[in-house]
Amino acid sequence: MQALGSAPVPIYRLTKQQRAHVGAFYLQHGRSIVRVQDACRDDPIFAGRPPPTRTTILRCFDKFERGDLAHAAGGHPPRTARSDKNIILLYGLVREKDDQSISTLQDRLRIEFDVHMSHDSIWKALHDDLKLYAFKYQSAHELRLEDLDERYDYALKVEFPAQSAVEEN
């Protein structure tokens, strides 16, 4: 709880570059939290910001060691399912036969190319990346020339029922 009359402490988010510096400082200064904080005070990258806390320094170093700084800075991990390679494979399957369901495409990707994509990832790749929109065709029966008179008579009966009743009598 905050004491009366005290100002709230601002929360500073570190950039990717600042997180990398904190991880490097931690190694350079013999894993000393106080020395890392001092180095951050002197570094122009941290100008006007308070030094990072112990917890922040340890988290930055952990991510620095793993090479996970892009995700640590609030970014997103790279897309793996909807990579360019997978989208090209998916496009090839659709070009080959365009009346396949998403489940069929999912099975074919897995079997033929050992690519595992979820139903949603395939849908997003088709819709967002390839600008293809899934819909079902409504099949209609064949229109033959010899049925023309019968169709014309039926249309007249439906459109003008009173008039066609008079003609039949």
For 42-91, how does the pLDDT look when each residue is reduced to its tens digit (9 = 90+)? Answer: 888 888 888 889 998 888 888 877 776 555 445 556 667 888 899 999 99
Residues 88, 94: Cα–Cα separation, whole Å = 10
- Domain final residue, candidates 29, 44, 72: 72
The dihedrals phi and psi of 168, each to the nearest 5 degrees, come to -70, -30
Q: Number of structural domains, the chain?
A: 3
pTM here is: 0.40
In terms of residue numbers, what domain contains 89? 84-129
Q: Give domain status of residue 125, yes or no.
A: yes
What lies within 8 Å, CB to CB, of 130 at 6+ separation is: 87, 90, 91, 94
Q: Give domain status of residue 79, yes or no.
A: no
The answer to whether residues 151 and 138 touch, using CB atoms and an 8 Å cutoff, is no
Does residue 125 sit in the same domain as residue 90?
Answer: yes
In one-letter notation, the amino acid at residue 13 is R
Q: What is the pLDDT of residues 1-44, one digit of tens each?
A: 444 544 444 556 888 888 888 888 888 888 899 999 998 888 88
- Residue 2: predicted pLDDT: 47
Does residue 145 sit in the same domain as residue 105?
Answer: no
